[in-house]
């Protein structure tokens, strides 16, 4: 007898609601918070809107070059800055110092290791 073709298993298992896990600790009751008392609406009459004053039309500027507005001279209250020293001073023109004199006593020669005796 021919066998029935095998169907491939579904990729995702059927979604089943997970059983509720029993909590090990009893639920902690929250302390009752004081509810704010509702403020009664104060019967205040609505304020009338303030009418804005009408803006007067500005006169048209005169055509042609306008006279330059001269600013008053700025008061010079700051003292003149002293001359700052140069950032990179030039090398002195004095001749370089003479090289160090040779040591009076020459160093002893480095001791060479003699071969060990046979």
Report pLDDT for 100.
63
Q: What is the mean pLDDT of residues 36-64?
A: 64
Q: What is the pTM of this model?
A: 0.12
Residue 1 has pLDDT above 60, yes or no: no
Report pLDDT for 115.
72
Mean pLDDT of the chain: 64
**pLDDT digit string, tens, across residues 71-101:** 666 666 666 667 777 677 666 665 556 666 6
Question: Cα–Cα distance between 88 and 85 in angstroms, integer?
Answer: 9
| Residue in this structure with the two tokens 């500027």, named with its chain if needed | 61
Whole-number Cα distances in Å, 85 to 52, 80, 88, 91, 111: 63, 15, 9, 14, 55
| Residue in this structure with the two tokens 């048209």, named with its chain if needed | 60
Q: Where does residue 79 fall: left (phi above 0), alpha (psi -120 to 50 degrees), or beta otherwise?
A: beta
Instruction: Extract the tokens encoding 85.
Output: 């020293």
Q: What is the mean pLDDT of residues 5-34?
A: 63
**pLDDT digit string, tens, across residues 2-16:** 566 676 665 655 566
């Amino acid at each position: 007898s021919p066998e029935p073709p095998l169907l491939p298993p579904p990729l995702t298992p059927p979604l089943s609601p997970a059983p509720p896990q029993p909590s090990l600790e009893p639920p902690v009751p929250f302390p009752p918070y004081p509810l704010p008392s509702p403020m009664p609406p104060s019967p205040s009459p609505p304020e009338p809107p303030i009418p804005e004053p009408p803006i007067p039309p500005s006169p048209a500027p005169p055509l042609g070059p306008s006279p330059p507005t001269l600013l008053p001279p700025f008061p010079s209250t700051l003292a003149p800055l002293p001359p700052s020293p140069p950032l990179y001073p030039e090398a002195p023109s004095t001749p370089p110092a003479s090289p160090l004199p040779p040591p009076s006593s020459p160093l002893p020669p480095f001791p060479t290791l003699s071969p060990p005796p046979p």
